[in-house]
């Protein structure tokens, strides 16, 4: 009789533990719903190339970049002006490089 109660208690504990694990959020998803990233223009994704040339490929490339970061899609993307970049970099050095791209991603 004691064995039956012990097995019932153990089974209940295992069932509750398994049920609680289904309520834990997945770690593969991004923690916030929206984030903005500064992407170098020469990163290899081609977002800056699409913006400069005026092609419609910018949205598709930005969406792909956001998916690679764990987000669903890009809500906006644009080239960033020299004055918007952190003040720790000299402006003379930034004018020689292609301007970075700001990409806002969302879940």
Convert the pLDDT of each residue in 31-40 to its tens digit. 568 999 888 8
- 106 has pLDDT over 90: yes
Do residues 74 and 65 make contact, with C-beta atoms less than 8 angstroms apart? Answer: yes
Assessment of whether the complete model's pTM goes beyond 0.75 = no
pLDDT at res. 30: 46
Q: What pairs with residue 77 in β-bridges?
A: 103
The residue that leads in pLDDT, 62 or 22, is: 62
60 pLDDT tier (thresholds 50, 70, 90): confident
| 52, 76, 61, 95: CA torsion to nearest 10 | 40
- pLDDT tens, position by position, 12-57: 766 666 666 566 655 555 456 899 988 887 777 777 787 666 677 8
């Amino acid at each position: 009789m004691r064995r039956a109660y012990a097995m019932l208690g153990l089974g209940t504990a295992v069932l509750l533990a398994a049920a609680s694990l289904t309520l834990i959020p997945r770690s593969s998803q991004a923690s916030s719903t929206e984030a903005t990233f500064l992407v170098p223009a020469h990163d290899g994704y081609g977002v800056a190339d699409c913006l400069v040339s005026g092609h419609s490929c910018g949205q598709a490339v930005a969406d792909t970049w956001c998916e690679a970061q764990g987000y669903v899609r890009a809500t906006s993307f644009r080239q960033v002006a020299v004055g918007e970049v952190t003040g720790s970099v000299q402006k003379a050095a930034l004018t020689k490089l292609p301007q970075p791209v700001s990409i806002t991603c969302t879940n």
